[in-house]
Amino acid sequence: KVKKLMWSRLSGNSPQTYFAIIKAFVKKYSDCIDETKPTENMKAKRMPSENVFLTEDEINRIEAYADALDKKQGHQAEKDALNAFLVECFCGARGIDVSNFTEESIVDGYLVYVSQKTKVLSKVPIHPKIAERILRKPSKAHNPSSMNRTVKRVAKKVGITQPTTIFYRGKLRTLP
């Protein structure tokens, strides 16, 4: 039942990751469990994952929208989401890493940081388009899901609506 629930509610390879964590826990504390094979059915096959990329023109449209928005009052959550998104686009960092950038992250024209997810040191030349955006701090902490929805809404506003077929939650789906 747990396996079916995970596959129906989680996306991509999340069930595989969760099963690995549960199995490690059960193995560590197996002396407390009465069953002979408690993790026998906790197997998840690796699901294919796809990446969808924006074109340079599409990124430029989002950037132009963000620049116009910067000149307006209010809309702070949208400004914060687009700023983080553009920094991610031009330096390849994940959102969690962008939120941790400080002045110390900038060394001789490079962005230097250790990825929170992979623990790998990255040294990336600072793209001129984001040099002044890197150290902008958000007005408050935002939920990553909310920020992602904001970027999707902006993409739609600037005409990025090309249908794309992706493997999503175990099925092929065509979404904008």
Res 175: pLDDT: 79
Which regions of the chain are under pLDDT 70? Answer: 11-12, 29-50, 168-170
3-43 confidence digits (pLDDT tens): 777 777 776 677 778 877 777 777 776 666 666 665 666 66
Q: Find where tokens 């992602």 sit.
A: 148
| CB neighbour list of residue 96: distance below 8 Å, 6 or more residues apart | 116, 117
Round to whole Å and give the CA distance between 144 and 139. Answer: 14
Q: What angle do CA 131, 132, 134 make, to 5 degrees?
A: 70
Res 39: pLDDT: 61
Question: What pTM value is reported for the model?
Answer: 0.70
Average pLDDT, the chain: 84
